[in-house]
């Protein structure tokens, strides 16, 4: 029996030109117009502007949310809902939208506020480590204050987040084949985002949540949930909590998922899943061409 999950990438997966091929589809036009009213700027203008502007958190997160949500609508219209959804960091908001937890505009208002708060965060640093000694890293994190494991992406790839001094201390202690400092202003997914998280609560509490029509795997607790109270509680913790993507991938196998579609630009999540869940069939839907190809296969 086929069991499908949809996954949604977050910040870092954006690409210049994303969403442009959607602009002539009436459903997409409507969403782009709503987005411009909520944001005060055009998603399409930013997506066909320059890399530096698109890469700024203030613009990246709403652009990804809008483009991925439109793809969700088109995919749902053509093949129906999947059996499970999950999103990486910002992608979790699209997962909740796909599961009908909140409407498009409410989700965008949340993402807008989140992007503003994260864009204005300062004084933090994040670094990615590839091919490292996990026990050595975990020991170092335990012994060092003001730095945490922010993204546990896979067995061989993580991101640490904290003060610049603490991050440098970890990098001096842990051997890794490759280290990459991330181009972000703050220490995302760490306790240093507590103040931003508290400010975000005002907007979050104003949004009406529904029970999910499809189970959602949350970043901070990678077990299937549909309860609106539970999903909101998990989202409250997301800005300061770790993205436990490695555990989410293991949950796909435990939930007997056979097919996964990465909905959005690129194939970063498929790359991680491929190395962890070799038995699962992977596809990407980030363009109209890919969407039409997927629909054609389903109807044949």
Residues noted as catalytic: 89, 189
Residue 111 to residue 114: CA distance in whole angstroms: 5
Tell me the residue ranges of DSSP E strands in 9-66: none
Place of tokens 């086929």: 2
Residue 156 to residue 154: CA distance in whole angstroms: 5
What order of strands is seen across the sheet that includes strand 281-285?
Answer: 216-217, 84-87, 4-8, 259-263, 281-285
In contact, 124 and 164? CB cutoff 8 Å: yes
Distance of CA 1 to CAs 92, 297, 298, 299, Å?
26, 17, 15, 18
Place of tokens 């795997």: 217
């Amino acid at each position: 029996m086929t069991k499908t999950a949809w996954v949604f990438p977050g910040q870092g997966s954006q690409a210049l030109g994303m969403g442009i091929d959607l602009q002539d589809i009436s459903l997409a036009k409507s969403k782009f117009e709503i987005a411009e009213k909520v944001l005060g700027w055009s998603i399409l203008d930013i997506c066909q502007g320059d890399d530096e502007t698109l890469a700024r958190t203030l613009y990246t997160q709403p652009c990804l949310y809008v483009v991925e949500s439109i793809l969700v609508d088109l995919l749902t219209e053509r093949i129906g809902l999947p059996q499970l959804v999950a999103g990486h960091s910002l992608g979790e908001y699209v997962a909740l939208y796909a599961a009908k937890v909140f409407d498009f505009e409410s989700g965008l208002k949340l993402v807008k506020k989140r992007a503003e708060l994260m864009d204005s965060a300062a004084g933090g640093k994040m670094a990615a480590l590839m091919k490292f000694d996990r026990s050595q890293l975990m020991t170092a994190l335990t012994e060092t204050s003001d730095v945490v494991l922010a993204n546990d992406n896979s067995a061989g790839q993580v991101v640490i987040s904290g003060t610049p001094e603490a991050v440098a201390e970890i990098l001096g202690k842990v051997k890794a084949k490759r280290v990459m400092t991330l181009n972000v202003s703050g220490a995302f997914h760490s306790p240093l985002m507590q103040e931003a998280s508290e400010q975000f609560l005002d907007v979050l509490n104003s949004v009406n949540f529904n029970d999910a029509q499809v189970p959602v795997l949350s970043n901070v607790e990678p077990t299937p949930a549909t309860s609106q109270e539970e999903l909101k509680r998990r989202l409250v913790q997301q800005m300061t909590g770790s993205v436990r993507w490695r555990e989410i991938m293991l949950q796909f196998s435990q939930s007997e998922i056979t097919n996964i579609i990465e909905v959005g630009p690129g194939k970063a999540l498929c790359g991680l899943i491929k190395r962890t869940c070799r038995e699962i069939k992977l596809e990407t839907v980030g363009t109209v061409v890919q969407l039409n190809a997927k629909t054609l296969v389903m109807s044949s």
